[in-house]
Amino acid sequence: MIRKTTQLRRLLESPKLEFLMEAHNGLSAKIVEEAGFSGIWGSGLAISAAFGVRDNNEASWTQVLETVEFMSDATTIPILLDADTGFGNFNNVRRLVRKLEQINVGGMCIEDKLFPKTNSFIKGEQQPLADPIEFGGKVKAAKDSQQDPDFCVVARVEAFIAGWGLDEALKRASIYHDAGADAILIHSKISTAEQVLDFKKEWQDRCPVVIVPTMYHNTPTSVFRDAGFSISIWANQLLRTAIISMQQAAGKIFADESVAEIEKQIVPVKEVFRLQNASELQQAEKKYLPPTKEQPLVDPVR
C-alpha cells in the first residue's frame, strides 16, 4: 500500500492534469473514491457547511480534524486538507502538521489570509491578506515539522481574490516557494480563467500549480491541461448536489405526508449498508463471536 502522502505527492508531480473531488465527511469521501478519483479535497467550505456553520473558522480545528479522520479512515486515496490559514500562527501550523500525519492525511493547503478567514467568494476584496513574509514563515514551519518527507504543503495565493494583480500574486508565490511549498494554489473568483492562465504563463514550471475552477467552470478542462496545471480541484460540487437533493426530498415528503413517491428516487437502505461495509462486520461476527444456535439478529445486506 503506497502511503497517502506519497500518493498525493505523485499526483502533484505527475506530468498530466489530475483532479481532486471535494468531500465533507466519511460517506462523501467514500463516494469520491468509488467514482474513480485519485484524491480528495477536504473542503473547508463543505465541511463547515455540513456542520451547519459558516466558512469563517466557526468550526474549531479539532472538529475539522475529527471529520477528516473519518474521511481518511473510510478511504484509501489521499486527502489534501483545506487547512484555511493554518488555524493560527506558525506554531499552530507545526502542531497541525503533526496531527495530520497521525491521521494519515496526505497534505494540507494553507492560504495567505488572516484568522478567522472568510470564504474567498464573500467580499474577497475587503479581506486582508497575511504579510507574505510571515506566511512564508508558516510554510517553512510546516515543512520543518513534517516527519514524512512526502507530506505535501500547498501554499494558496489569495492576491487575485483580494483585488491585487499578477505582480503581487507572483511575488507572494515566489516567497512561499522559497520557503519550501511543494505547490502553489492560485485562486481566482472571476468567471474566466484569465488570471490563473496569466499566472501560469509567468510562473512556468517552478513548482506544480493547483487551481479551483469554481467560478470559471465554463472553461474547458483541455485549457487547464494545455496550460500545464498540476491539479484541478472540484471544490464543492458534492455538497451542492447533496443540498438540492435533500431540499427536494424534504419538500416532497413534507408536501405528500408520505415517502411512497420518493422511495423510487432514493437509494435503497441496503446501499447505505454497502457503503458502510456492513457485510465485513457480519463476516467478522462469524469469526469472532461464540457460535450460537440462534440465527443472526439481522441480515440486512443479503
What does 158 interact with, of ligand SPV, Mg ion, none (CB < 5 to 8 A by kind)?
Answer: none
| Closest CB 220 distance from ligand SPV, rounded Å | 20
What does 120 interact with, of ligand SPV, Mg ion, none (CB < 5 to 8 A by kind)?
Answer: ligand SPV
What does 7 interact with, of Mg ion, ligand SPV, none (CB < 5 to 8 A by kind)?
Answer: none
The one among 18, 20, 25, 44 contacting ligand SPV by CB under 6 A? 44
| Closest CB 8 distance from ligand SPV, rounded Å | 17
The residue among 67 and 150 lying less far from Mg ion, judged by its C-beta, is: 67
74 vs 65: CA distance, rounded Å: 14
CA 194 remoteness from chain centre: 24
The residue among 114 and 301 lying less far from ligand SPV, judged by its C-beta, is: 114
Interface with Mg ion by CB under 5 A: which residues?
44-45, 82
Helix-strand-coil split of the chain, %, nearest 5 = 45, 10, 40
Burial 135-159 (b: 16+ CB within 10 A, else e): bbbbbbbbbebbebebbbbbbbbbb
Residue 67 as a binder of ligand SPV (CB under 6 A): the answer is: no
The residue among 100 and 253 lying less far from ligand SPV, judged by its C-beta, is: 100
The residue among 21 and 235 lying less far from ligand SPV, judged by its C-beta, is: 235
The one among 5, 7, 28, 43 contacting ligand SPV by CB under 6 A? 43
Residue 120 as a binder of ligand SPV (CB under 6 A): the answer is: yes
Q: Which residue reads 510571515 in cell numbers?
A: 134
| Closest CB 120 distance from ligand SPV, rounded Å | 4
The one segment of 42-50, 192-200, 262-270, 286-294 that binds ligand SPV by CB under 6 A: 42-50
Q: How many CB atoms lie within 10 A of CB 118?
A: 18
Kindly identify the residues of this chain, within the stretch 130-169, that bind ligand SPV according to CB under 6 A: none
What does 214 interact with, of Mg ion, ligand SPV, none (CB < 5 to 8 A by kind)?
Answer: ligand SPV
Residue 82 as a binder of ligand SPV (CB under 6 A): the answer is: yes
CB contact set of 92 (below 8 Å; sequence gap of 6+) = 61, 86
Is 55 an active-site residue?
yes
Q: Is 81 left (phi over 0), alpha (psi -120 to 50) or beta?
A: beta
At residue 74, the 3 state secondary structure works out as: coil
282 vs 300: CA distance, rounded Å: 10
Using CB atoms within 10 Å of the CB of residue 285, give its burial: 0 to 12 exposed, 13 to 18 middle, 19+ buried: exposed
Amino acid letter, residue 227: A
| Closest CB 187 distance from ligand SPV, rounded Å | 6
287 vs 106: CA distance, rounded Å: 33
Beta bridge mates, 82:
109
Which positions lie near ligand SPV, rule CB under 6 A?
43-45, 82, 119-120, 212, 214, 235-236
Q: Active-site positions?
A: 55
